[in-house]
Amino acid sequence: MILVVGGLNGFVGSNTTEALAERGLECVVTRHKNAEVPGFLQKYIDRSVFIESADATSIADLRKIGEKHEIDGIVDVAGGLTPRAKSPIPRLKGYFDMLVGIFQMAEEWKVKRLILSSTGGVYLGLPGPVNEEHAIPLPSPFPLIAYQKIVEVASSEFARGSGIGSVCVRLLGMFGPWQNPAGGGLAQRLVHAAVSGKPPALEDAMLGRADDAVDLLYIKDVARAIALLQTAEKLSHNVYNVCSGNITPNRELVAAVEDVVPRFKVDLPPGRTPFPPFPVMETERLRADTGFSPAFDTRSGIRNYVEWLKAGNPK
């Protein structure tokens, strides 16, 4: 049985729970304040997916889960930051409390493997292509990148000291069902606008200019890759790039959305976002250890996403 932190209604967590359930595994998913259940998980609830209320920063809450269920593995892809505050201390404390709680439970439960989310943002500014062996710079332009570098260091030290497999997945360019439509990525904003018929909000979109480009991977492929890493008999590394291995220019993204929803037309702001582009991320490790290859390209992912939203799903 796998504990998926944020697995009920988190974007990556809920899709990863589905991917694990599709492979025949039982999962315990946590919920904290939001009890909404994605439609794609409904058929698994109380059959192979079991919901427990828990604050991931509370060791007491996590320990109660272990008293009810025999946990063999943990996937923590919640990765969220605490609300903005004038002081960074509340945000750091929330992150550290979550890490300490997850590490302590992994050790107490003697799990086989722990997976934690990181970000492909650690490569920002490096010349590509890049792989997991590249040295990454310590300075970070965004708090999320800084915090996930902390996660990677902590994960490595935990694995070294505990003997438990602790793996970080570097994620980037995800889009698809259950993603916040007002989030920073361009893909979800374009798809929601195309389905709703409303103009997309582009002013603060991350890498949202006409000449920008990023590695895009549909969330169902992201989730399947994480599930493959969690269930692999043996892994050779403790960090994996989870991505397509290809850069998708924004013009190609726009063309794909306009092809799937022909009435939709949009002009992106001209030029390029004024910070270093993301390099191509290599995926040899992931392919070698799990056999993963994407089932969706950009266009088929967008089509699946559009169908999901047109079926009446809110996000």
Tens digits of residue pLDDT in 232-287: 999 999 999 999 999 999 999 999 999 999 999 999 999 999 888 889 999 999 99
Closest CA to 294 of 234, 230, 223, 207: 223
Phi, psi dihedrals of residue 247, rounded to the nearest 5°: -90, 130
Closest CA to 56 of 92, 96, 2: 96
Same domain, 100 and 169: yes
Same domain, 133 and 200: no
Mean pLDDT is lowest, of 79-88, 96-105, 298-307, for 79-88
* CATH number, position 95: 3.40.50.720
For residue 60, what is the enclosing H or E element?
helix 59-68
DSSP 243: S
Higher pLDDT among residues 132 and 9, named by residue: 132
Same domain, 105 and 254: no
Task: Check if the beta carbon of residue 200 is closer than 8 Å to that of residue 264.
Answer: no
Cα(183)–Cα(11) distance, integer angstroms:
11
Tally Cβ neighbours within 10 Å of residue 284. Answer: 11
pLDDT at 84: 59
Same domain, 73 and 107: yes
Residue 265: burial class (beta carbons within 10 Å; 0-12, 13-18, 19+)? exposed
pLDDT at 143: 82
Domain interval for residue 157: 2-174+216-244+280-295
- Mean per-residue pLDDT of the chain: 93
Give the Cα-Cα-Cα angle 24, 290, 217 (nearest 5 degrees).
90
Same domain, 115 and 128: yes
Residue 188: burial class (beta carbons within 10 Å; 0-12, 13-18, 19+)? buried
Provide, rounded to the nearest whole percent, the portion of the chain with pLDDT above 70: 97
Which residue bears the tokens 């315990």?
28
Q: How many residues does the chain have?
A: 315
> Would residue 125 count as lying in a domain?
yes
> Would residue 181 count as lying in a domain?
no
Higher pLDDT among residues 75 and 182, named by residue: 75
pLDDT level of residue 66 (50, 70, 90 thresholds): very high
pLDDT level of residue 144 (50, 70, 90 thresholds): confident
Same domain, 29 and 62: yes
pLDDT at 85: 61
Radius of gyration (Cα) for the chain, nearest Å?
Answer: 19
DSSP labels, 171-215: E-SEE-TT--TTSS-HHHHHHHHHHHTSPP--TT-TT-STT-EE-
> Would residue 180 count as lying in a domain?
no
- Would you say residue 67 has pLDDT above 60? yes
Task: Check if the beta carbon of residue 59 is closer than 8 Å to that of residue 36.
Answer: no
pLDDT at 121: 93
> Would residue 306 count as lying in a domain?
yes
pLDDT at 193: 96
Higher pLDDT among residues 150 and 142, named by residue: 150
pLDDT at 208: 94
Q: How many domains does the chain have?
A: 2
Distances (CA, A) of 156 to 13, 14, 108, 233, 300: 22, 25, 18, 19, 36
Same domain, 27 and 65: yes
pLDDT at 83: 54
> Would residue 315 count as lying in a domain?
no
- Would you say residue 215 has pLDDT above 90? yes
Same domain, 17 and 150: yes
pLDDT at 80: 55
Same domain, 135 and 201: no
Task: Check if the beta carbon of residue 147 is closer than 8 Å to that of residue 95.
Answer: yes
b/e per residue, 99-130, with b = 16+ CB within 10 A? bebbbebbeebebebbbbbbbbbbbbeeeeeb
Same domain, 255 and 169: no
Same domain, 257 and 160: no
- Would you say residue 195 has pLDDT above 90? yes
Same domain, 29 and 144: yes
pLDDT level of residue 17 (50, 70, 90 thresholds): very high
Cα-to-chain-centroid distance, residue 125: 21
Closest CA to 149 of 15, 141, 105: 141
Distances (CA, A) of 283 to 170, 291, 300: 11, 11, 21
Task: Check if the beta carbon of residue 49 is closer than 8 Å to that of residue 29.
Answer: yes
